[in-house]
Amino acid sequence: MAIENPPRERIKEILEGAGNIAVVGLSDDPEKTSHQVSAAMQAKGYRIIPVNPNAERILGETCYASLKDIPEPVDIVNVFRRPEHTPAVAADAAAIGAKVLWLQLGIANDEAAEIARKGGLEVIMDRCIKVEDSILLPGGRAGR
């Protein structure tokens, strides 16, 4: 069963309302896509919370070993991990009460989507959060 992404208008609403974005698989290497995308989102005013057990700080923010270690609410869990790792991430995202599971461009997993949906999360797969933000909110986010 293929899970469909929400309509573009809903994705825009999600981005407008997002505060904290936990980035699972955020690399401390500035050459990596996860770092570049997260830096661009941070520059646009989103709060990036790195999830990487192998780093202490990325983009000036404290890193956490897992989603369950983050001591504050998370709006979007943005995932830069291979598809086979995403069901466990989805389960953790549901466990912490995140609102959205966002699998980056090139990443899709129906099992992860089902876990997230059953946990009350909206699911976006195979889309780049930076590209969507640039298209849907070219002038930035209102009120942020």
3-state secondary structure of 122: strand
Exposure of 61 in the CB half-sphere (CA atoms within 13 A): 23
Q: What is the pLDDT of residue 139?
A: 79
Q: What is the pLDDT of residue 142?
A: 58
Q: What is the pLDDT of residue 37?
A: 98
Instruction: Give every residue of the chain whose pLDDT is below 50, as ranges.
Output: 143
Q: What is the pLDDT of residue 140?
A: 75
> Which strand (E) or helix (H) includes residue 79?
strand 76-79
Residues 116, 140 contacting (CB under 8 angstroms):
no
Q: What is the pLDDT of residue 90?
A: 98
Q: What is the pLDDT of residue 99?
A: 98
pTM for the predicted model, two decimal places: 0.95
Our separate counts of H helices and E strands in the chain read: 5, 7
